């Protein structure tokens, strides 16, 4: 027969189990509410640090970069100093935020330039070797590690420990089926609350849910990416170009700014394709696409418009600066194919460019595309291998023809 103390302990254990299942259910529902990776990361770490979640002082997420065979810091939530911890906890206790409220506040977190821990975590790269400390071993061994005493602390990579300013912590692997995607690190560096075996068990269960959510989100983002990408060049396709141009024009309109569109066409491509074959033609399209992409800025959108035609959206760029950029592209392509004597009729493969700007030349997406295309047509009619900027005279001349 069970004693009163045994019944009390059993009751507490059942209450704890009920709370764990409730938390896992709540977090799983939250993770199912989005398929965006960055929001999934935030939900995971919020659940680990909020007072309605597991309540660790800090939580950090790392993912495996298989190409470079390293573990990369992705996101960190929590304070980096005791002073910062006090401010955060006072704000939490005064606002009475729930786990759901924390998830809704993701956009605020994303804009927070003062999140020092997050910046530090995102700067960490750890080679996946046995001599690179606990985080690397968490991936290589596929098991949790509890750094809860000085002896265990000897296994910690000193550079990582110094960067994160942590002494005692726990790491658990993020699993998706039979694959280890990364690791979670948690600590209680400020309140010094011991991390128990129960905490580690709960953290491991949580990490398994999180790993599946990350993998599902990755598969979704990969599907979206492929549906918006040209299969040959890996540039954005026509559909994504149309979406991006609409977005950038609306943004430019709100900010009272300017935007330029460069249309690019490969000169005499049909002759090139017919003379040297489709494989050489595909190779040329890929080479030119790579050149356009490498010479463009990160904020520019480079797309394959169709066939041998490309489009480049250039936010915040005047028509003259876009023309200078187009000329650099034209010159670069000309140099690449300068020695190909088999190419006819001009013994080289070149491009022509047409440039128009919003709102100088057009006040709608359709008009901007049309007028940059008119400028491109002018470049072709003027002898090819050149760049032209739109003017009203071009449209009048084309209408007259």
Instruction: Report, as residue numbers or ranges, the catalytic residues.
Output: 308
Question: Is residue 312 helix, strand or coil?
Answer: strand
In which residue are the tokens 């003062």 written? 114
> Which tokens in the block code for residue 225?
């990416």
Q: How far apart are CA 69 and CA 19, in angstroms?
A: 38
Q: Select from 21, 75, 73, 28 the least CA-distant residue to 47.
A: 28
CA distances to 8, 24, 255, 328 from 199, in Å: 20, 13, 49, 59
Backbone angles phi, psi at 187, to 5 degrees: -150, 170
Helices (H) and strands (E) in the chain, counts: 16, 11
Q: In what order do the strands lie in the sheet with 301-306?
A: 301-306, 309-315, 259-266, 351-358, 387-389
Radius of gyration for the chain, computed over Cα atoms and rounded to the nearest angstrom? 28
Q: How far apart are CA 311 and CA 298, in angstroms?
A: 15
Distance, first Cα to last Cα, the chain: 102
Question: Who's near 89: CB < 8 A, 6+ residues apart?
Answer: none
């Amino acid at each position: 027969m069970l004693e009163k103390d045994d019944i009390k302990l059993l009751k507490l254990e059942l209450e704890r189990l009920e709370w764990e299942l409730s938390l896992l259910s709540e977090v799983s529902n939250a993770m199912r509410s989005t398929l965006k990776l960055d929001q999934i990361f935030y939900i995971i770490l919020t659940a680990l640090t909020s007072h309605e979640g597991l309540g660790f002082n800090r939580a950090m997420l790392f993912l495996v970069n298989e190409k470079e065979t390293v573990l990369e810091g992705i996101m960190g939530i929590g304070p980096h100093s005791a002073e910062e911890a006090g401010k955060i906890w006072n704000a939490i206790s005064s606002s009475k935020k729930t786990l759901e409220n924390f998830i809704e506040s993701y956009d605020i977190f994303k804009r927070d330039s003062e999140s020092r821990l997050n910046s530090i975590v995102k700067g960490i790269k750890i080679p996946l070797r046995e001599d690179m400390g606990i985080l690397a071993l968490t991936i290589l061994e596929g098991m949790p590690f509890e750094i809860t005493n000085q002896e265990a602390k000897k296994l910690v990579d000193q550079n990582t420990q110094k960067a994160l300013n942590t002494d005692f912590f726990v790491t658990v692997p993020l699993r998706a089926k039979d694959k280890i995607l990364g690791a979670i690190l948690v600590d209680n560096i400020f309140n010094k609350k011991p991390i128990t075996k129960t905490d580690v068990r709960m953290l491991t269960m949580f990490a398994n849910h999180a790993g599946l959510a990350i993998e599902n989100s990755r598969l979704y983002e990969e599907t979206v990416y492929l549906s918006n990408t040209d299969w040959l060049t890996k540039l954005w396709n026509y559909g994504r170009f149309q979406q991006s141009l609409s977005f950038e024009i609306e943004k430019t309109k709100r900010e009272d700014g300017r935007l330029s569109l460069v249309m690019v066409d490969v000169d005499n491509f049909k002759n090139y394709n017919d003379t040297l074959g489709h494989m050489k033609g595909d190779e040329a399209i890929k080479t030119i696409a790579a050149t356009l992409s490498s010479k463009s800025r990160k904020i520019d959108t480079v797309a394959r418009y169709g066939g041998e035609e490309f489009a480049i959206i250039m936010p915040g760029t005047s028509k003259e600066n876009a023309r200078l950029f187009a000329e650099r592209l034209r010159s670069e392509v000309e140099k690449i194919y300068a020695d190909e004597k088999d190419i006819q009729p001009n013994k080289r493969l070149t491009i022509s460019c047409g440039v128009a700007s919003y709102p100088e030349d057009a006040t709608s997406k359709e008009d901007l595309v049309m007028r940059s295309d008119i400028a491109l047509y002018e470049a072709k009619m003027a002898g090819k291998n050149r760049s032209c900027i739109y003017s009203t005279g071009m449209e009048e001349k084309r209408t007259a023809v």
